[in-house]
Amino acid sequence: FAVDVRSEAARLIAERTPGDLDKIFFTNGGAEAVENAVRMARLHTGRQKVMSAYRSYHGATAAAINLTGDPRRWPSDTASAGVVHFWGPYLYRSAFHAGTEEQECERALRHLADTIAFEGPQSIAAIILESVPGTAGIMTPPPGYLAGVRELCDRYGIVFILDEVMSGFGRTGKWFAAEHWEVTPDLICFAKGVNSGYVPLGGVAISGAIAETFATRPYPGGLTYSGHPLACAAAVATMNAMEEEGVVEHAAHLGENVIGPALAEIAARHPSVGEVRGLGAFWALELVRNKETREPLVPYNAAGADNAPMAEFAAACKASGLWPFVNMNRTHVVPPCTISETEAKEGLALLDEALTVADRHAVSA
């Protein structure tokens, strides 16, 4: 049955998506959005392989966890889901021996092009990327990278999927992070911020070309609670409130004038902070033992005693009343997009103090 709030939610989302991504398929969350985007790409192209980056997280369901590049994939990796991983751009720890953003972009794109060539372009249905990777590190792509991936997809008839489950709906200071680089994918996966998580909701925004595939051929998918009226009503209310209250603009202001400058000052003071990166209300600090060698504060996927420095840092945050997000040798600064300047500065001061604990494990300059 047609439902007014479902239609209105779809209209409001389509108004904000880039290009012609004007058809909306609702799901219950981000992982299901990724699952269905991949299914659409495979059906649209008649191909099976999907490519994704090593430093990524796309969800915990069957296809999404195989697409995921970080260690959360390992216990569930069947190695039979038609997934090929590649290295995305990450200048601070460049896999391409790059010294500048321009070099990192050029070499990362060359690596991707070579991987496509050796995998067989005619076998690849889609490339999926987080516009800005979330829990895998908040590595903002260098200028030109997403546009370069778009060009490779166009060249070989590959569907370009952007996962904006974390970065969408204001998080980076734009409705969708892809807007920073003026890139339009074929499919966008969204969830979380679409209704602030009050009720489970996700979805896929679909381009005209892919929607046309299913105009006369029914899409063989759907979920019992797809487009649930309560979830969609929460989405309508959230998007309207974000518009009326300037939440997206506020997130951009926080990143440019509050969080970004404060984190730069914090990095200059603490020997344990190797790099600060991010935009809007979406930031990460990479913690190191040595700023010169960039040795991580703890080893990759460390556990137990090896992870003690990060555990001590996290405990110091909690003791002061700051709830941290830590992943490997990183701590992320991702407050609510509605946080006030005063609250943000209070949290940053607590973070500043807690980093003195991490400094004990680092080489002073």
Give the tens place of pLDDT for each residue, 90-124. 999 999 999 999 999 999 999 999 999 999 999 99
Averaged pLDDT of the chain:
96
CATH of the domain at 118: 3.40.640.10
- Domain boundary, last residue among 245, 261, 295: 245
pLDDT tens-place string over residues 62-90: 999 999 999 999 999 887 779 999 999 99
Candidates 290, 286, 276, 271; CA nearest to 330 is: 286
According to DSSP, residue 223 is labeled: -
Whether 209 and 274 map to the same domain: the answer is: no
Whether 124 and 270 map to the same domain: the answer is: no
Per DSSP bridges, beta strands 124-130 and 49-53 are parallel
- 186 domain residue, yes or no: yes
Whether 180 and 213 map to the same domain: the answer is: yes
According to DSSP, residue 142 is labeled: P
- CA–CA dist 124, 80 (Å, integer): 15
Hey, what amino acid is at 202?
Answer: G
- 262 domain residue, yes or no: yes
CATH of the domain at 339: 3.90.1150.10
Segment 249-278 mean pLDDT: 98
Whether 316 and 229 map to the same domain: the answer is: no
pLDDT at residue 131 tops 80: yes
349: tokens are 């001061």
- 273 domain residue, yes or no: yes
Whether 145 and 95 map to the same domain: the answer is: yes
Alpha helices in 80-172 (DSSP H): 101-119, 145-156
350 pLDDT band, cuts 50/70/90, is very high
The string over 92-109, giving b where at least 16 C-beta atoms fall within 10 Å of a residue's C-beta and e elsewhere, is eebbbebeebebbbbbbb
For the chain, report the end-to-end CA distance as a whole number of angstroms: 65
Radius of gyration for the alpha carbons in the chain, expressed in angstroms and rounded: 21
Q: Any bridge partners for residue 158, and if so which?
A: none
- 364 domain residue, yes or no: no
- 365 domain residue, yes or no: no
For residues 58, 64, 67, 69, the Cα torsion angle rounded to the nearest 10 degrees is 50
Whether 224 and 341 map to the same domain: the answer is: no
Whether 283 and 205 map to the same domain: the answer is: no
- CA–CA dist 277, 332 (Å, integer): 10
Q: What is the DSSP string of 298-332?
A: S-TT--GGGGHHHHHHHHHHHHTT---EEETTEEE
Domain interval for residue 300 = 247-359
Q: Which residues contact 11 (CB under 8 A, 6 or more apart)?
A: none
- 21 domain residue, yes or no: yes
- Domain boundary, last residue among 219, 245, 271: 245
Number of domains in the chain: 2
pLDDT over 70, % of the chain: 100
Whether 266 and 302 map to the same domain: the answer is: yes
246 pLDDT band, cuts 50/70/90, is very high
pLDDT at residue 365 tops 70: no
- Domain boundary, last residue among 227, 245, 263: 245
Whether 86 and 211 map to the same domain: the answer is: yes
Whether 50 and 72 map to the same domain: the answer is: yes
Whether 155 and 283 map to the same domain: the answer is: no
Segment 247-273 mean pLDDT: 98
Q: Which residues contact 281 (CB under 8 A, 6 or more apart)?
A: 170, 171, 172, 173, 251, 254, 255, 259, 334, 335, 336, 337, 339
364 pLDDT band, cuts 50/70/90, is confident
Segment 279-296 mean pLDDT: 97
Segment 325-339 mean pLDDT: 97
Whether 261 and 157 map to the same domain: the answer is: no
Segment 116-134 mean pLDDT: 98
223: tokens are 């979920």
76: tokens are 């569930």
pTM of the model: 0.96
